[in-house]
Homo-oligomer: A and B are copies of this chain.
Amino acid sequence: MSIYIAIDIGGTQMRAAAFPLNGYEPVAVQRVPTHNPDISPQEGLVQLIESVCPPDETLISIGVAAPGPLNPKTGVIYTAPNIAAFRNFPIVEYLQEKFNVPVFLENDANLAAVGEWQAGAGQGHTHLIYLTISTGIGSGIISDGHLLQGEGGIAAELGHVTVIPEGPICGCGQPGHLEAIASGKNIARWTKEKLAKGAESSLQNAKKVTAKKIAKAAYKGDDLARKAFERAGGYIGLTLANFLHIFNPSIVIFGGGVSRSGDLLLDPIKRSVQKHVMSPKYIDDLTITTATLGDDAGMIGALILARTATEK
């Protein structure tokens, strides 16, 4: 049997799956911790791939989803958050030498967008925005049936646009980015600031205040927790209205942990979008929905990358 291998590299774990020529059902799946005291992430990656690729099968190509920034054209990961060993790592060259097949690299959020577009919530659309609201905020854009990559492959960083010019400093170092205001980490940061100032809330006695805990408290009617999501959703909606003016898509898909909090975040986002678009034409036929592939979106995207890039 001929197979493709799709890899999803994260700061905590690396996952690999082998897929047949068609369809999205893997024939083998494995995951390993990214950080292993005994071997380097590079060696761990090779072992992981070997574990889903029995010797009697013909490997056609490998698709890799990795956290950015990276260059899909040169196949080099510039920096991978929480994986120091992958700094300026020519992963495509490395894996091509090890496995002697074509290897293709792309940003994980971009590939999640491709996955949702071809096999998830975005099927049938040609203009799509995918936003993943998690610890950070990532995104991928399909414009007229093409993945938006930019000249150097570092486009579609929608989490890194200024929302409040003098706002909190983002992980990237710039002030007031969407990610610094509305990511899961920053929903928790805002809530903790209010708690420290004595805000009344069921979370006052919580040991560790996370976006997940805040979501739970909000569903139980906690006012501060609700406000935290209202505020984040309001800013996401305002920024999304800008993205609608820029891309005029037919669908917006939300992925990531915070988006799994359901209507808690989606409702204020939708209200805010409606308030901030400059013409109803931008939302008349627009679908705003959540991702359907969950954590597999990036890997499915990596599979699609491997298949389509090999065909070329």
List the interface of chain A (C-beta within 8 A of B): 69, 78, 126-127, 143-144, 146, 148-158, 160-165, 170, 172-174, 177, 238-239, 241-242, 245-250, 276, 278-279, 281-282, 285
Minimum CB–CB distance for A157 against chain B, Å: 4
Which residues from chain B contact A172 at a C-beta distance below 8 Å?
278-279
Interface of chain A, main secondary structure = loop
Minimum CB–CB distance for A74 against chain B, Å: 12
Which residues from chain B contact A155 at a C-beta distance below 8 Å?
127, 245-248
User: Which of A69, A152, A245: most chain B Cβ within 10 A?
Assistant: A245
Judge whether A151 and B250 touch: CB under 8 Å. yes
Known: A127-B150, A149-B144. Contact between A162 and B248, CB under 8 A?
Answer: no
Judge whether A162 and B281 touch: CB under 8 Å. no
Give the contacting residue for A162; candidates B126, B239, B282; CB below 8 A: B239
Judge whether B146 and A278 touch: CB under 8 Å. no
Judge whether B246 and A161 touch: CB under 8 Å. yes
Minimum CB–CB distance for A283 against chain B, Å: 11
CA distance A250 to B161 in the complex (A): 19
Minimum CB–CB distance for A288 against chain B, Å: 14
CA distance A165 to B237 in the complex (A): 12
